[in-house]
Amino acid sequence: MSLADLDYPEVHFARTGLKTVVCRVMFNPILKIGQEPPADFQELVRGAFPQLFKEESAEFRIAPGASVEALPAGPAVWRFRSEDEAWTAGLAINFLSLETTAYRDFVDFQSRFSILEQALQSVYQIAQYVRVGLRYINIFAPDDFPGGWQRKFNPHLLGPMADPVLRGELRESRQAFVLAQGDWTITVQHGTDNNGYRLDIDHAAEGHVHAADLAERLRDFNRRTYQVFRWALSEELRAEMEAKADE
């Protein structure tokens, strides 16, 4: 049996631990983005992302004698934000990104990302991407999901946390594993996070992803990520998430 054999039906959960969703596509550097403000790009996206600011990077190193030496600033990132500040896009010389703390479903997320990607294509005509990533970061808080993590997740995910010998004394656990096939990987990082439990699933492809195939690739990423996410949950946690928020 493999990941391809998983076939959990998609459910719109009444409550989740989902905190952040990020999509980032990387391309070969375009110097024009770094040399002048992306005014044409802004005109195409400002209906959905009216707020604009420029993010400059600053790096330092410790020089001999323990003095701090400033390094040349890296490429700037132009940030475009929705009016409610729940959605933030980023444009730099080698990437386009979208991040949200107000995820509803993938159709909504992809429609907003499509506004950005179509603007990118209109202004900069990118034929292919060198990396495509879609990441879901979940943090399950004990106040929202009480009862102990051993009953909330698949014991194959928990490892030593599910072990009857070790779990009584185990206070902290952080683990990671990578699934891979063809040009894609799924990196799963999980473990205790303060008093909560973090489940971070990052699906990516590297190589040459043609722009015409991007939308379908992201849909595939979303489907696979959901299957991994559902595999990680216990039936108890799934039932809690499907329950009405006021129950």
pLDDT grade, residue 20 (50/70/90)? very high
Q: Sign (positive/negative) of CA torsion 197, 100, 237, 153?
A: negative
Tell me the pTM: 0.90
The C-alpha atoms of residue 80 and residue 193 are separated, in whole angstroms, by 30
d(CA 168, CA 158): 14
Cα(132)–Cα(8) distance, rounded to whole angstroms?
Answer: 24
Residue 247 pLDDT > 50: no
Determine the pLDDT at residue 83. 97
- Check whether 66 has a pLDDT greater than 80: no
* pLDDT 10s digits, 194-221: 888 999 999 999 999 999 999 999 999 9
Contacts of 160 (CB under 8 A, 6+ apart): 166, 167, 170, 173
Q: Does the pLDDT at position 243 exceed 90?
A: no
Average pLDDT, whole number, for the chain?
89
Element holding 221 (H helix, E strand): helix 214-232
What local confidence, expressed as pLDDT, does residue 131 receive?
Answer: 98
Phi first, then psi, for residue 128 (nearest 5°) are -155, 160
How far from each other are the two terminal CA atoms of the chain, in whole angstroms? 37
CA-closest candidate to residue 188, choices 206, 173, 174: 174
How many angstroms separate the CA atoms of 30 and 124, rounded?
8
pLDDT at residue 149 tops 80: yes
